[in-house]
A and B are shown apart, each in its own frame.
Chain A
Amino acid sequence: MDTVSTQPMIDLKAIAKRYQMGEHVVHALHPLDLQFFAGQFVAIVGPSGSGKSTLLNLLGLLDQPSSGEYWLDGQNVADLPDFEISQIRCRKIGFIFQSFNLFPTMSVIENVCVPMHYAEQPKEYMKERALEVLTRLGLKDRTDHKPTELSGGQRQRVAIARSLANDPPVLLADEPTGNLDESTGEEVMDIFRELRSEGRSVIMVTHNPDYENEVDRVVSIHDGRITRS
């Protein structure tokens, strides 16, 4: 174990997810213990239906676990009311989606400002910060474009800029390269590695085995159980 980060950014303790399907109980995730550290780039891999998306939803606080504890940045977040959970999503977690999920009626810079609206940042700061992250991702001259006017790689970079708006310590990416060609996918991976180096915890769900060698750690899931971590 690395000596730099002994305190995990994310600590899952016996966390499980079950669904009631008629008379049967379906175990989407069997109770599992898992830790993620700051400055680590982790890939969660597994075949479809293995439970990796369930795990990502739990990590992103989009779903509630059936049992267990979820410690995020030193706080147990498993059973918080909606408002607080939303605030944690807003400030601590950045989401990146396979199909980018940008708002088509808004310009690039407006898209980047959305999380800052929910964090109730002042207007001048929002503009300044949005420009900062967009510049960093090489989109300075695209701020007033609509997402539909951009290429796939550019769109995903806008989405990454949006996820960084509130400077969250955790980034969750769901198949971020799934809709991109190989070279643009590599660009995105480079960005993630850079963000990891800043001390963020980057967690990516993928089923592309090629990426297994490009990350710090691979977590494999099969049938709701961790087979490698």
Chain B
Amino acid sequence: MRYSNTLRLSFASLTNHPFRAFLAGLGVVFGVGAVVGMLAIGEGARLESIRQIQEMGVDKIIIRSVSKMGSNNNQGGSVGINEKDITHIRSEFDNVSGVLPITNWNGMVMSHWVELPNTNILGVPLEFLEITNSQLVGSESRFLTAKDSEDGAPVCVIGSRLAGKLFQFRNPLGARLLVEGVYLDIVGVLHNTSDRKVEGMGSVNSMLYLPSPTGFNQWSSPTKNRIAMPYKLLYVVVNDIEHIENTSRRLEAYLQTTHREPDYEIILPFELMRQQEATQRIFTIVMASIASISLLVGGIGIMNIMLANIYERMKEIGTRRALGATRQDILIQFLVESAVLTTIGGSIGALLGVLLAAFVAEYADMPTVVTLFSVIVSLTVSVLTGVVFGSFPAWKAANLSPMEALRRE
């Protein structure tokens, strides 16, 4: 019974000064709005970067050949990953289900209409489509086959953007390209919807693909800084992702003993993802902390207004005490009032945060994700803000001498 109308009472007294209540609550509105918005941006960025890394494939270890200008690190006339490494990894490593090398040439590509210098030409394994998660365009399209590879057939597949450049709106399938002095028939066009990039090279959509043997037969091995670099990339696919870190360490140990200089780089998307998650978490915490400062400022605003409230309502407090209110009754009345104020402010703020997130997603082209968790936390924090920052004014009100309070007009 005692507190049955405390809530109604606090609404009545807040609506008594609607503009003042509005101004007092505004700090909490913006504070909670900022927290919810920041958390949404942080969460969106986290999911986006994880998506990007997952696209690289968490079940893969990527070894990239590196060549430093002027260094004399040639071993057996080549730099980076070599045939010996590939054979060794294939035969000696147990947790490895596939070793997929990529060769990277660079040169002039000519159609009947257009000539494009400096186009990336990749000698790729047959699994390339799956590795990059790309699709063929058109029902007539096919990818390179085992037979193409065995025969060193003069065929190629081109990325969708490259196709656009070379043929504009004409159909490239079946057409013939002159690639660094060699005629190649186009058997397929591929497209990657997220415009994925191949590590250290361009987009999947703007390159040309052929079986590695065709390239090796027609041209010599590609070079970097005048030294042959037969393989630009090596995808090592593992069976058991649980042991991927162990396999990666063993690969590194093996490469360290066989290569005189570090002309390779091991990329572990799995580990990258974990690091990225940790970084993103810190990023989110920092952003939310900064936003929390505005919530703190909002809380101080609440305290300010509640104190002013008490001085104005001295007579009410004194009268209530005379009519039988205990200190605790007064304390609770003022606490509930400030908690109601911050709860309403927090709810409006949460809504504002969701709008902010939607706005950022729409106009800043950043993915944002509003989690239920962040909304619940913000609302809880705003109720707590009311209780914490309202407690000093409420304590002051409760400890007024009833006689002194009644004397005020």
Contacts and interface: CB of A to CB of B under 8 A. Distances in A.
Interface of A: 57, 60, 62-63, 82-83, 86-87, 89-91, 95, 97, 99, 101, 103, 105-106, 114-115, 117-123, 162, 166
B1 A90 contact: no
Pick from A62, A87, A99 the residue with the most CB of B within 10 Å: A62
Interface string B318-329: 111111111111
Given A101-B315, A120-B2, 9 more contacts: A60-B322, A62-B401, A62-B406, A63-B403, A89-B322, A105-B12, A114-B320, A118-B320, A118-B323
A123 B323 contact: no
B4 A89 contact: no
Interface of B: 1-2, 4-5, 12-13, 16, 315-316, 318-329, 401-403, 406, 409
Given A57-B403, A105-B16, A117 B1 contact: yes
A141 to B, nearest CB: 23
Nearest to A120: B1
Given A63-B403, A123-B1, A101 B319 contact: yes
Given A62-B321, A86-B325, A89-B322, A117 B5 contact: yes
B315 A87 contact: no
8 contacts: A82-B327, A86-B329, A87-B326, A89-B323, A97-B406, A117-B2, A123-B4, A162-B323
Contacts of B5: 117
B322 A121 contact: no
State the main secondary structure of chain B at its contact with A: helix
Nearest to B402: A62
A70 B61 CA distance: 89
Contacts of B2: 117-118, 120
B402 A97 contact: no
A90 B324 contact: yes
A95 B320 CA distance: 11
A162 B322 CA distance: 12
A102 to B, nearest CB: 8
A64 B16 CA distance: 34
Nearest to B12: A105
Nearest to A118: B324
Given A117-B2, A118-B329, A120-B1, A87 B403 contact: no
A87 B328 CA distance: 12
Contacts of B319: 95, 97, 101, 103
Contacts of B329: 86, 118
Given A57-B403, A62-B403, A97-B319, A86 B326 contact: yes
Contacts of A62: 318, 321-322, 401-403, 406
A86 B401 contact: no
A86 B12 contact: no
A95 B316 CA distance: 14
A62 B12 CA distance: 27
Contact of A63 (B13, B320, B401, B409): B401
B321 A115 contact: no
A5 B320 CA distance: 32
Contacts of A123: 1, 4
A103 B324 contact: no
Contacts of A106: 12
Contacts of A57: 403
A170 B109 CA distance: 108
B401 to A, nearest CB: 7
Contacts of A119: 324
B385 to A, nearest CB: 25
A118 B402 contact: no
